[in-house]
A and B are shown apart, each in its own frame.
Chain A
Amino acid sequence: MSDLKIVAQDLYGRSPMRRLMPLWWALGLTALFVVSILGMNLNIARIIEGGDRLVVMLGQMFPPDFSILGRIIGPAIETLYVAILGTFLGVVFSIVIGVLAAHNITPHVTVEIALKGFSAFTRAVPALIWALLFIVAVGLGPLPGILALAVNSIGMLGKVFAESIEEIDKGQIEAVAATGATPLQIISKAIIPSVTPALVSWSLFRLDINIRYSAVLGVVGAGGIGIELVRSTRMLAFDETLTITLLIFVMVWAVEYVNNKIRAFIR
C-alpha cells in the first residue's frame, strides 16, 4: 500500500469537515496573507525594479571592504560597552524592583502593583523607541543608548526576578526569620542565595538581547556600530555595509557563545 493511500484512508474515516480541517486553516491563513500584502498599497514597479537593484547591490557588496575595520572597531567596542552597562544598570535596578514587587515579600500590595505595572510598561515599549526618546531628553552619545537598554531590561528582568523570588520555598524564609533576622538579613541570607542561579542566567540572557539592540541603536542616532551601518547604506557603499554587517554578526555570535559557556557552567 502506498504512503498516500495510508494517509488518505486514515483521513477518510473522519467526517468531511474534520477531514479537511487542516486544508481550511491553510486556505484561510493564505487568504489573510494575500489580503495583508494587497492592503499595503505596494509600488509594484519599484519592487520589480528591486530585483535589478539586488543584483547590483550584491555585486557591490563583494568583496567586502575590510580596509574600514580600523575605523569601525572603535564604534564596535562602544556598542559592546553600551550593552554591558545597559545590562548592568538594568540588573541592579531590577534586583531592587524584584525584591519590592515579589508577592511573598513585598512591603505592601500597592507597591507590588505599581512596580509590576511599571515593568510591564517599560517592557512593552521597544528598546529602540526608548532610545529615540532618551536622545531627545539627554542628547546624543552613548548615554541615551545605555539608559534605553537599562529601562527596557528593567521591564523584563524586574518581572522574572520577582517571579523567581515568588517561587522560593516559604520554609527557607521562615527558617531564617525564626533566628530573629532583620528584613535585610532575610533578603541577603534566604532570598538572594536561592535566586542567584536564576538571576545570573536571566541576566546573561538579557545581555544577549542587549548586544543585538546595542548594535542597532545607531539607527536612531544613539551611537555605536549602528551609525556606521546606516551611513554606509545612505552612501550606497555596500562593500562597507557587508563588512559592518559581518562584524555585527561576529559580535552577537561571540556574546552568545560566551554566554552559553557560562550558562552551561552554572547548570
Chain B
Amino acid sequence: MSEGVLEYTRKNLIRRRRIARLIIFGFTVAVLVSAHGTGFRIRDLYRGIPNIIQFLTEDLLPPRFSVWRRFLGPTMETIAMSYAGTFLSVVFAAPLGFLAARNVSPSPVVMQVARAIAVFMRTIPPIVWALLLVSIVGIGPFAGTIALGLSGAGMLIKSYADSIEDIDAGQIEAVRATGAGTFAVMMKGVVPQFSPSFVSWSLYRFDLNIRSAAVVGLVGAGGLGFSLSTAVRLFRYQEAAVAILWILGLILAIEFVTAKLRGHLI
C-alpha cells in the first residue's frame, strides 16, 4: 500500500470519528433540550411509580372478567376492520407497486408519482386518517377500515415495489427472449418471483392492522379501541382492563396465525 492510500484511509477514519462524535453530541443536546422543554426530571420517574402502582392495584386490577362477553362483538369488528382494510390496501397497492418499481415501471415519471402517493399515504399516521374519516363517514368501523386501507396501501406500494426491484432480471429477459409481450412477461417472468414476498408483506400488513385497528377505535372508528376508550371515559377501569386483555390476546393470536400461514404458504 502506498503512502497516499494510507494517508487517505487515516484521514477518512479521523473524519468518520469526527462525524460520529458530532452525532453523539447532537443527540445528547437533543435529549437535554427535550428534558428542559418538557420539564422532565428523573425524579418524575420514581415519583410517578407510586401513582402508577396505586392505579394498577386499586383501579385497574382485578379485571372484571364477568363483562368479557361484551367485548366479543367489538373483537369480531376489529378483525373485520383489519381484514377489510388489508384487502383494500392489497387491491389498491398491487397495481401501483408494479408502477412504482424501477425495473418494470412504464416510465420514470409514473414511478415517481406512484412513490410520492405511497409516501404521502403512509407518512400520515393511521389514526389521523381515522380522525378525518370519522368526520366524513361518521363514527363506526367503516371509517376505521378506510383509514387502515389508506395507510396500509402506502406501506404496501413501497414494499411491493422494493421486492419487485429485487427480482432476478435474467428471468424477465429469458421470458422476453421467447418473443412474449408485456402481459406474458409480467405473468411468467415477474409474478412467479414476486408472489412469495407479495404474500409475506400482505400478511405482515394484516398483522400490523390488528394493532392499528385496536387503536383507531380510540377516535371513534369502532372495534375494541372504541370499547376501551368508552370504558376509560366512564372511569370503569376494571372493564378497561378486560378490554386491554382482549386486545393483547387478539394481537398475539393473530401474530401466531399469520406466522403459521406464512410458513405454510411460502
Contacts and interface: CB of A to CB of B under 8 A. Distances in A.
Interface of A: 1-4, 6-7, 10, 29-30, 32-33, 35-37, 39-43, 46-47, 50, 53-54, 57, 77-78, 80-82, 84-85, 88-89, 121, 124-126, 128-129, 132-134, 136-138, 141-143, 146-147, 212-213, 215-216, 219-220, 229-230, 233, 236, 238, 241, 245, 248-249, 252-253, 256, 262, 265
Main secondary structure of the interface of B (DSSP, over half): helix
Given A43-B138, A82-B38, A245 B128 contact: yes
A129 B87 contact: no
A50 B31 contact: no
A233 B77 contact: no
A108 to B, nearest CB: 25
Most central of A29, A33, A141, A213 by chain B CB within 10 Å: A33
A40 B80 contact: yes
5 contacts: A36-B84, A53-B137, A136-B232, A142-B38, A219-B219
Contact of A53 (B52, B76, B135): B135
Interface string B107-120: 00000000000011
Contacts of A215: 125, 128
A138 to B, nearest CB: 5
Contacts, number: 185
A157 to B, nearest CB: 15
Contacts of A1: 179
A132 B228 contact: yes
Given A236-B135, A249-B124, A147 B80 contact: no
B156 interface: no
Contacts of A33: 83-84, 87-88
Given A43-B140, A132-B218, 17 more contacts: A3-B183, A6-B184, A39-B80, A40-B80, A40-B84, A40-B222, A88-B31, A124-B251, A125-B247, A126-B215, A136-B232, A138-B48, A141-B38, A143-B40, A236-B135, A248-B128, A253-B123
